[in-house]
Homo-oligomer: A and B are copies of this chain.
């Protein structure tokens, strides 16, 4: 009980060795290659080398729950692996083909794709040959309420015609990105949760323009957060995932794993920030003694340890519930970690920055970038406030099953 399976332990050891032997040493190479390219969306060759190495070591598609496509780990087995990857967020997940949003897209294609989708898109994704993107959020509407989604998908004979605008379409500027999964509205008059559909759309389909990549704080992420314009984009009716009106249902199925993977990686990021905080506190001397000797810095270290551990346990329990009772039954816990984990990570990283002095805000340390990454997670897949609302409604109904039913 509370212990990893032997299999998970073995993967953990292998992954730790891969990190020490390959990923951490690759970090300076990666950043040097990025800087030399002068292109924020450059695809560094070192990533490709790491992918080859990871595949060789069997550290590939670890995320995928279906045994025909990977080792078929449970969420609980995968969690500590994703955490380790989160320590080097720009490299390790991609090197092991466990990167968002590809992971979620692969799951969706596995569950809802046609044979053609699987052959054409899923296989190269699983092989790490291409990348993909997920076009959901829209600039004009509060997308945390999915029923607001407005991109129009109109049937025209054997085709659908897509018109609208998306943003925060992450990965769209990845050099390997070839395909989008797009959420849009097929039937404005259907019941609220049957209006939307999802489709598989090649990125080079005529009518799609990548207008720009949105920066996060000042960072222009390599994979890009695209703003995309859809103007009379024509796709065959076979582009549809599952059936018309199933968009909301697929979205729900997709979100659970996506959210927990984010949280697992955030815990790894927090652990790395804590390590950096400790090392700097031990090395830096002011007023005659190392910062590590000061009780306020010690309090920060202690609080970080406690808060990381609590967040980790909640995430592991959520993984366990997803494995045993299913994503839907675990939705309270999924909402809970979505609220708790990024805020915890931000607090730890911010204090690590403070211990580093102004250097902590520069790129001489990974902390400011980590802060920016974690801050976005308070919006990704819905802002904190929407998840708290969900949690509160569940609690209110726990005490009064009729609460809010008529409101």
A residues in contact (CB < 8 Å) with B: 1-3, 76, 137, 139, 142-145, 148, 167-168, 214-220, 225, 274-275, 278-279, 281-282, 284-287, 292-299, 301-303, 305-307, 309-311, 313-314, 317, 320, 332-333, 336, 339-340, 353-354, 357-359, 361-364, 368-369, 371-372, 375-376, 378-380, 383-396, 398-400, 403, 407
Contacts and interface: CB of A to CB of B under 8 A. Distances in A.
A18 to B, nearest CB: 22
Contacts of A225: 358, 362
B215 A145 contact: no
A8 to B, nearest CB: 12
A305 B376 contact: no
A98 to B, nearest CB: 23
B302 A339 contact: yes
Contacts of A317: 2, 309, 313
Contact of A407 (B275, B293, B309, B386): B293
B310 A340 contact: yes
A309 B298 contact: no
B306 A391 contact: yes
A302 B399 contact: no
Nearest to A289: B407
A372 B361 contact: yes
A386 B302 CA distance: 11
B297 A395 contact: no
A225 B287 CA distance: 26
Nearest to A313: B313
Given A142-B286, A214-B363, A309-B317, 16 more contacts: A1-B3, A144-B357, A214-B359, A217-B217, A217-B369, A218-B368, A294-B385, A295-B296, A298-B388, A298-B389, A302-B392, A302-B395, A306-B336, A307-B340, A310-B340, A313-B313
A399 B282 contact: yes
A83 B210 CA distance: 39
24 contacts: A1-B3, A2-B320, A137-B358, A143-B357, A144-B357, A148-B286, A168-B358, A214-B358, A217-B217, A217-B219, A274-B395, A278-B395, A279-B399, A295-B389, A298-B393, A302-B388, A302-B391, A305-B332, A306-B314, A306-B339, A307-B340, A309-B314, A354-B378, A357-B379
Nearest to A213: B362
Nearest to A357: B379
Number of copies: 4
Give the one of A295, A354, A375, A380 with max B CB within 10 A. Answer: A295
A216 B375 CA distance: 15
Contacts of A215: 218, 362-363, 368
A13 to B, nearest CB: 19
Contacts of A375: 353, 361
A142 B357 contact: yes
Give the one of A168, A216, A388, A393 with max B CB within 10 A. Answer: A388
A334 B158 CA distance: 65
Nearest to A319: B2
A214 B362 contact: yes
Contacts of A282: 396, 399-400, 403
A63 to B, nearest CB: 20
Contact of A391 (B1, B301, B384, B390): B301
Contacts of A285: 142
Given A1-B1, A297-B295, A389 B302 contact: yes
B339 A385 contact: no
A354 B336 contact: no
